Amino acid sequence: MQKKPRYVVPVRSADKGSRVVALTFDDGPDPAYTPQVLRLLRKHHVKATFFVIGQQASAHPGLVRSIVDDGHTVGTHSWSHADLSRLPAGRVRTEVGRAVDTVATTVGRIPALFRAPYGSWSRTVFEVCATLGQTSIAWDVDPRDWDNPGAARIRAKILDQVGNRSIVLTHDGGGDRSQTVRALRSVLPVLINTGYRFVGV
- Which residues are marked as active site? 26, 171
Cβ(48)–Cβ(41) under 8 Å? yes
Distance in angstroms (rounded) separating the CA atoms of residues 108 and 66: 13
Distance in angstroms (rounded) separating the CA atoms of residues 129 and 117: 14
Distance in angstroms (rounded) separating the CA atoms of residues 198 and 188: 10
Q: Is 72 helix (H, G, I), strand (E, B) or coil?
A: coil
CA atoms within 13 A on the CB side of 41: 28
